[in-house]
Amino acid sequence: MVRIFFRRIRGLYPLVVLLAALTLGCIARAQTTPQTQAQTQAQNLAQARSAEADSPADIRQPGGRLVLVLPFDNRSGQANLGWIGDSFPYTLDQRLTSAGFLTISRDDRQYALEHLGLPADFRPSRATTLRIAQTLDADFVVIGSYNVINPGASDSRIEVQAQVLEVNQLRMSAPVQDSSELSRLFDVENAIAWKVAGRMDPHFAVAEQTFLAASGGVRLSSFEDYIRGTSAPTQEERLKRLEAAVAETPGYSAALLALGKEQYAASQFDAAAATLAKVPPTDRVALEANFYRGLARFNIAKYAEAAAAFAFVAASLPLPEVVNDEGVANSRQGKDAAALFVQVIAADPNDADYHFNLAVALLGRSDIAGATTEVGEALKLHADDPEATELLARLQATHWVTANLKSILSAGGFDPTTRIRRTWSEASFRQAAFQLDQMRALQMVTLPPAQQAAQYTQLGNEYLAQGLLPEAEQEFHTALAADPKNAAAHAGLAQVRERSGSTGDARAEAQSSLELAPNVAAYLVLARIDMQINQLSESAYNVANALRLKPDNPAALGMKTALAARGQNLP
């Protein structure tokens, strides 16, 4: 049985380990004496190699976190409602990812179906479901069905049930169910995701209300256009649907990304770059959006903008294809990109194009020996590369004399140029991000409890700033597990509860936080809750306390102004 998912991404593991060592090295350095950059890099590399040597061949986590969500079966009898079945994997993948699972994307699911000789719209039996799961190395498979009562009527309702297949145990869970008005489809899907997460992880602690609040701001009609647009059979229909989704919900990042990629595929490069630029830099899809934005700019020879887009992605996660493209965009501006190509080869030494690119970059330095070595490596990996073959022959004709280099290389119009990578590996990116999270957790365990809590609270606040409530709640819970007396983690949970509409729980968490230590965040949660219920004097009291701690806090000053406008001054 071919293990498609992990076979496609397993080669990324050494890079992931190296990235983890480099990313997490700052934690260890904070506890050591100052050292030179070379010493630090050597220690990080040794740590990476040690971690790789100790790692198992199969990078799945003990207990299993890899999840395949299949489209849900349409039991309504209405073919025009089939898009709802396709929407469940999208929503559940998002929510389960936020819960710490690694989900298998739609592209990989379709790849598996093709490998098994099955059509993309195939609805598998239990036996076939197991085959697909085993092909993709999934630990869990989520299957389900839905029915719509009174379709087309104003009071139409949707009823959903789902089950979890635990692949290794060949065990199917009892069904989980939910129902509501069809207009509240998001709530139903998020509720199913929350119940499924609990079936797969008995220790899952995120509140259901946090999941229910996670899809805010997207109109249901935009969601329908997005789902239909991503699976439409023609490019014209895909563009039309995705444009409609964005027109109705302009800040819909997933739709912006899908539209930008579709515009790129249609060679609408200016439009694609403009669309993808609208994805906020803190959004979870910003990295992929900027990769394709870089490609769009590159295709119309705006190399500086392309390089900036690729550099944005590489700063967070330097996958080989991303750093390669940053180097190519820089080389097209006449800049020396050899250092970037060296970095790429260190991460992936088995790609012929990466060695060829380094050879071209070394020619810019008149390094004939280095270029010859690299083009030779490229030909070892891809012997039938005519451009590399020609370049090697010309390099050998120089007889290592740099004075002959330019005339020999350019004779007959020969002009070797660096090669761009045009494919974003979503599976590689998600696997790398997931593995980094796992390795960060292992690194955190070595810290004292108070430092663990501080680190997790910081991560939670970063997720909170991005509006990722389930992710933020996960980090705050982990912080409190390490140190139950961490006031900042309680304040973070209070903000999550406030944003998800659980004001009673938000007030309780804020008060717990203040009992441990006075802090601005908790005071402002109480102030906002009191203002909403028109208890202005209590709100003013908490704002005043926040300003005593931090007189220049913008949020507190804004609340002071809002209270004054309603005739309430601070005590």
Query: 128 versus 543: which is more confidently predicted?
Result: 543
Question: Has residue 185 got a pLDDT over 70?
Answer: yes
pTM: 0.80
Structure confidence at residue 32 (pLDDT) = 36
CATH code of the domain made up of 426-565 = 1.25.40.10
Read off the pLDDT of residues 263-276 as tens digits, 9 standing for 90 and up: 999 999 999 999 99
Helix/strand/coil (H, E, C) string of 128-193? Answer: HHHHHHHHCCCCEEEEEEEEEECCCCCCCEEEEEEEEEECCCCEECCCEEEEEEHHHHHHHHHHHH
Contacts of 509 (CB under 8 A, 6+ apart): 490, 491, 493, 494, 497, 522, 525
Query: If pLDDT is split at 50, 70 and 90, which confidence band does 47 have?
Result: very low
pLDDT over 90 at 85, yes or no: yes
66-216 fold: Rossmann fold (3.40.50)
User: Is the pLDDT confidence value at 119 over 70?
Assistant: yes
218-313 with 426-565: one CATH topology?
yes
Interval 498-555: pLDDT, tens: 999 999 999 999 999 999 999 999 999 999 999 999 999 999 999 999 999 999 999 9
* Strand pairing category for 140-149 and 157-166: antiparallel
The model's confidence at residue 380, banded by pLDDT at 50, 70 and 90, is: very high
Q: pLDDT (tens digit, 9 = 90+) per residue, 341-371? A: 999 999 999 999 999 999 999 999 999 999 9
Q: What fold, for 338-417?
A: 1.25.40
Tell which residue, 421, 422, 429, has the closest CA to residue 285.
429
Please report which confidence band the pLDDT of residue 45 belongs to, taking 50, 70 and 90 as the band edges. Answer: very low
The arithmetic mean of pLDDT across residues 169-175, rounded, is 90
Q: Residues 464-490: pLDDT tens digits?
A: 988 889 989 999 999 999 999 999 999
Cα–Cα distance for residue pair 125/295, rounded to 1 Å: 41
| 218-313: CATH topology | 1.25.40
**Domain assignments of the chain as residue spans, ordered by start:** 4-54, 66-216, 218-313, 338-417, 426-565
Helix (H) or strand (E) holding 102, with range, is strand 102-103
Is residue 426 very low, low, confident or very high in pLDDT (cuts 50, 70, 90)?
low
pLDDT over 80 (residue 37): no
Least-confidence region, from 72-76, 108-112, 123-127, 301-305: 123-127
pLDDT digits (tens, 9 = 90+) for 193-217: 999 999 999 889 899 999 999 877 8
| CA neighbor of 51 nearest in space, from 28, 74, 68, 70 | 28
> Mean pLDDT over all residues of the chain?
86
Instruction: Give the span between the Cα atoms of 338 and 356, in whole angstroms.
Output: 11
Q: What is the structure's pLDDT at 524?
A: 97
- Calculate what percentage of the chain has a pLDDT beyond 90: 67
Q: What is the largest CA-CA distance in the chain?
A: 87
pLDDT value of position 46: 37
Residue 430 has pLDDT above 80, yes or no: no
